[in-house]
Structure 1
Amino acid sequence: MKVGVFATFMSPLATPQMIVDFARRAEAGGLDSIWMGEHVALFDRNTYGYPGSKDGRIPVPEGGGMLDVTATFGFLAAATKTLRFGTGVALVPQRNPIYTAKEMCTLDWLSNGRLDFGIGVGWNKEEVEACGYRWEDRGKRCDEFLEVMRRLWTEPVVDFKGKWLAFETLRMDPKPIQKPHIPIIVGGYADAAFDRAVRFGAGWYGFNLDPARTKQMLAKLDAAFAKAGRKRTPAYEIIVTPPMNAGPDTVKAYADLGVHRLVVNLGSQRAEKVDQRLPEIETFVKQAA
């Protein structure tokens, strides 16, 4: 089993030097990857609360914000050699799919194939609408955008006519280093998310799941495969971020379920907390070896 770290970098704590130092320490400590969450903007009032915290709010330092995923990964790709980078998750229905396809294949090209494209439909209604899209049809829009991106990454010339996009003789180069294209890792727990994972995914990503909950979600994933007349293969990657209180003694339980990669949450990015947490995460690496 591989072990990565979930570290959504936030200003003002995440200075350029802090980010580079962290990535190099993670790489030297045997971690496989860094995963970042994505929110282009935050709001003082939300229709729905953030599902990853008890109070429904993203824990952002006062006066700070979340760094952009694409820019940060491009920065880190130049500072590392083997570390992979995963979007956990890119909010596809609120992104321009042409720009997104170009950004991701450029990142894959410049990093020599070290990108995993984790995707989801998002929970923040205000953010989706501020980006110029409707909340209610974000799932179907996500599927169309993924279809477009997948074709742009694999076909020399693309004609497309859908509900949200239409174009002719579009060319996009360079193509991704990874073949057939950048791995699409689908996150989410709704039936539609599992259907999307079967249709588009090279893997599935579950966040904040203990082994018992992971087992339940994998049963739903396998049901979605069965509904599509397929069966999940060993090559289909299962990626899970355990709860913050999970210890390295849980590694075997996840491995027994067929989890390929644990993405352990870093938590606080204060220097003293990072110094304490990174050695703890490295014990997951030793247990997974």
Structure 2
Amino acid sequence: MTISVGLSMLVRYDLQADVARLADDLGYDGLWFPEHLIWPADFGGASPYEDDDHPPVDPRIPTYDALLWMATLAQVTSRIRLGTYVYNLSLRHPFVAARAVQTLDVISGGRVDFGVGAGWSRAEYAAVGVDFASRGRRVDENIAVCRKLWTDDPVSHKGEFYAFDPVHFLPKPPQGRVPILIGGVSNAALSRAARLGDGWIGMRHSPADIAAKRARLGEDVTIVTGAHIRTVEDLRAYEAAGADRVIVVPWRRSTDALTSIRSFAEEILQPARTEGLLTTDPA
């Protein structure tokens, strides 16, 4: 089991390089980044959470291009992995997404985890001009095309949404097949994770939720989840439920981020590593 940091938009941009360096030094497994192209002024009652009709954030929150943002932090870290939490793949042509991820994997030396989803905001799709109803099928096809581009050469494709004659796509990502984790809690998202994903990723779930997801997904799918961890015992509960990686955000304000991840490391990460609960060590 490993512990990652959710480096959200709630941390001021001028602090993020320092947070990334410290998380790398302290032995956290990864940094995870949110992604949206735009925020609609009116969410129309949509939410990524089950049984919740409230938007997840104030749409005026400062937002950055996730993969470019990750590339800047790849330059100031050496070991820690970098993941999207999650990237709305069906809003992009697969050439665009595959090239950006390939470039980031080169810059980072093979440290990318590509968390993707079908999206939940109909208004965001409308603003971009992409059909909302077909988003799940688009994700499936985009995943297939991205994987071809990352591993084969030359590549051709003929599908429902994309068709192209042989093309070259070089260089390949250092990892080859970049891990793809599927986000979402719908039946369609869980089915996609089991069929196509290297893992499933959830925003924030209890150990009971994770146990149910593990039963649904089986033992071969990596489970990553946002988690509320206060003690090592909390971490043990997530491990027992079947979580492979947990993502924590242990601060309340940007100015507390550095002290909070250090305190979390001292109080939870290091004791958990000592007892053999964690698998990640600082380089």
Q: One fold, TM greater than 0.5?
A: yes
Please report how far the alpha carbon of residue 287 of structure 1 lies from its aligned counterpart in structure 2 after TM superposition.
4.3
| Match runs of 1:82-101 below 5 Å | 82-101=79-98
| Match runs of 1:153-172 below 5 Å | 153-172=150-169
> How many residues are matched?
271
The residue that corresponds to 1:59 in the other structure is: 57
Please report how far the alpha carbon of residue 137 of structure 1 lies from its aligned counterpart in structure 2 after TM superposition.
1.0
> Contact 1:7–1:36 at 8 Å: present in 2 too?
yes
Please report how far the alpha carbon of residue 281 of structure 1 lies from its aligned counterpart in structure 2 after TM superposition.
3.2
The residue that corresponds to 2:236 in the other structure is: 252
Cα gap change, 1:268/1:134 in structure 2, threshold over 3 Å: closer, same or farther? farther
SS across alignment from 1:25: helix
In the alignment, which of 112, 128, 131 is matched to residue 128 of structure 2? 131
Percent sequence identity over aligned pairs: 31
Structure 1 runs (4+) greater than 4 angstroms displaced: 52-55, 266-269
Correspondence 1:117 to 2:114: yes
Please report how far the alpha carbon of residue 276 of structure 1 lies from its aligned counterpart in structure 2 after TM superposition.
4.8
Name the CA distance, whole Å, in 2 between partners of 1:159 and 1:128.
27
Q: Under a length normalisation based on structure 2, what TM-score does the superposition of the two structures give?
A: 0.88
SS across alignment from 1:136: coil
The residue that corresponds to 1:228 in the other structure is: none
- What letter matches 1:258 in structure 2? G
In the alignment, which of 230, 234, 240 is matched to residue 225 of structure 2? 240
Cα gap change, 1:270/1:257 in structure 2, threshold over 3 Å: closer, same or farther? same
Name the CA distance, whole Å, in 2 between partners of 1:103 and 1:22.
23
Q: What value does the CA root-mean-square deviation take over the aligned residues?
A: 2.1
SS across alignment from 1:176: coil
SS across alignment from 2:101: helix
Name the CA distance, whole Å, in 1 between partners of 2:263 and 2:92.
35
> Contact 2:224–2:243 at 8 Å: present in 1 too?
yes
The residue that corresponds to 1:286 in the other structure is: 270
SS across alignment from 2:146: helix
Name the CA distance, whole Å, in 1 between partners of 2:97 and 2:230.
34
> Contact 1:121–1:138 at 8 Å: present in 2 too?
yes
> Contact 1:14–1:269 at 8 Å: present in 2 too?
no
Name the CA distance, whole Å, in 2 between partners of 1:68 and 1:79.
18
Correspondence 1:277 to 2:274: no
Q: Under a length normalisation based on structure 1, what TM-score does the superposition of the two structures give?
A: 0.86
| Match runs of 1:146-157 below 5 Å | 146-157=143-154
Name the CA distance, whole Å, in 2 between partners of 1:258 and 1:136.
32
